[in-house]
Amino acid sequence: MEPPPPPPPPPPPEDCATSEFHSKQTAHPDEEATFAEHGFAPAPVIAPPRPQTASRLILIPLCRKGSESFRPDAQFWGSSWSSRSFGRRSCSMAEDDGVPFTLALIAGGVAGTTVDCALHPLDTFRTRLQSEKGFWASGGFRGAYKGILSAAIGSAPGAAMFFSTYETMKKVSKNFSGNQEHWTQHAGASSCGEAMACLVRVPTANITQNMQVGRYTRLTEAIAAIYRTGGLGAFYVGYGTMVMREIPFSFIQFPLYERFKKIIAERQGSETSAIQGAACGSLAGGIAGGTTTPLDVAKTRIMLEKVEEGAARKYDGTMQTLRVIAAEEGIPGLFRGIGPRVSWITIGGFIFFGAYEGAQKALQRTGLW
């Protein structure tokens, strides 16, 4: 008697989408032949995501919460857990499935502000080390929380500017590439997001850094004094240099982040967890932050320079500033403040991860999402 045909594969669960991944794992040829004899196709093989190869497409169910869901991916959270440059150092929120856009935006803003406030002393020490006057003349270890109010005020709006621009540009770039995804799309979208976010970050950075070195004691005093030097344009001194710092940061950090995640996934035979993604993002961000320190030093010098009326600027433009620093202080001068900068980026990733999770749960308890 001929054996009954094998049952067909079960349908995917309700309210699930499918995501395609390439894998070398396929059904055995003998199994395929047996299925074909009875008119059935082999069941799809579940496999962890791997880099694209010439192998067969595998369908993996991807369940969602609700009809419309937003997945704040690791690249985004790399870029916006802080209102300023260390933002893109990524926390892996890719595993946080089905989070509404507005919830992710608000929780990210809360987490970014938490990081900015918690690690403000490290940022103060970085600014003072990079100052032309030197660390001790700029205040040393005293008054480490100077300028924290302006930093906190600009944190959430900067993150919102980044988030909205990043998500928009990521969708545009994916449409142009036939809906294929690559890390360069995230890096490019991140760079566009940073350029827009700097419209908020640069004015607050000018105020914050001038207060950190002791030039002003009150926020209102700093705003009035900076405005008197050149109107609204004075708040955007250093904008170009700050954007130039963010773009190479993204293109250094993203491939490192992807590489670190790939190594961990291959060794453990499964995708990285959220906390592993946070570690990968923090490490990659620390390396990118250290590499781009010269641009950070140039940005600080340009923002802190006090030009007397009628005098020419000593630091005029990114490349000219780098040349002046290298000529006067040598290569070490270009890497002033690298310790606090790298520490701030690396530690910030883990603080952001915890703050984001806590804020998200608290917001969900309100019943608005």
Task: Kindly report, residue by residue over 281-330, the tens digit of the pLDDT.
Answer: 899 999 999 999 999 999 999 999 998 888 899 999 999 999 999 999 99
Query: What span, in angstroms and rounded, lies between the C-alpha atoms of 214 and 208?
Result: 10
Q: Where are the alpha helices (DSSP H) in the chain?
A: 29-37, 74-80, 101-118, 120-130, 148-176, 183-212, 219-230, 239-268, 274-291, 293-304, 318-334, 338-364
Domain segments of the chain as ranges? 74-364
pTM of the model: 0.74
Q: Average pLDDT in the 32-61 region?
A: 44
Most confident of the following: 166-175, 226-235, 350-359: 226-235
Tell me which fold the domain 74-364 belongs to: Mitochondrial carrier fold (1.50.40)
